[in-house]
A = this chain, B = another copy of it.
Amino acid sequence: MAMETSTRPDTHAPSAEGEMLVPAMFQNLIGYHLRVAQETSFQAFARAAGKADLKPGWYSLLTVLAERESMTPSELSRICGRDRSTLTSSLKALSHRGLIERRPNPDDQRSYSVRLTENGRGMQKQLHAIAVVYDRRLDEIAGKDKAVLIAVLGRIAATFGMPQDC
């Protein structure tokens, strides 16, 4: 079936049973392959991070914060593509653990801004290191097709990532 698995075709029983044979109806659906690839690779990252007692879900939050002096929850929500109500609890946890700090916005009593603490920056760096390791494997897998892959994925995100309707 083409697709040379390349690495060790016989050690530690890699074939076996579980390999998740693709249902025929999904065979030709990009969405299916996209989903499976994303889920499996993210779970690998999450397992590695979890083993080091790091919360994989915090990675993007911390990273986005690492690139800006400070942001409001709503800005973070837009950039990370998570609902504001989701961020409420994440930010509560991050702040509880001293990874971020909040400070009131003097111009708007409803709002506040968050920024990384030193600890938060440290955790971001650790998570980023793990992410980079996993992404190197993705690089190898993509090989010469990396640029095409990223371009296509970018177009998908741009097309479907619009506000609501279309």
Contact = CB atoms under 8 A, between A and B. Distances in A.
Contacts of A145: 148, 151-152
- Report copies per complex: 2
A36 interface: yes
Given A40-B161, A67-B25, A20 B141 contact: no
A24 B67 contact: yes
A154 B33 contact: yes
Interface residues of A, number: 68
B67 A156 contact: no
B159 A137 contact: yes
A123 to B, nearest CB: 14
A146 to B, nearest CB: 7
Nearest to A35: B38
Contacts of A150: 30, 33
Interface in A3-49: 3, 5, 14, 16-21, 23-26, 29-45
Interface of A: 2-3, 5, 14, 16-21, 23-26, 29-45, 60, 63-64, 66-67, 78-79, 81, 128, 131-132, 134-135, 137-139, 141-142, 145-163
10 contacts: A3-B155, A3-B158, A23-B63, A23-B64, A36-B153, A36-B157, A37-B152, A37-B160, A141-B159, A149-B149
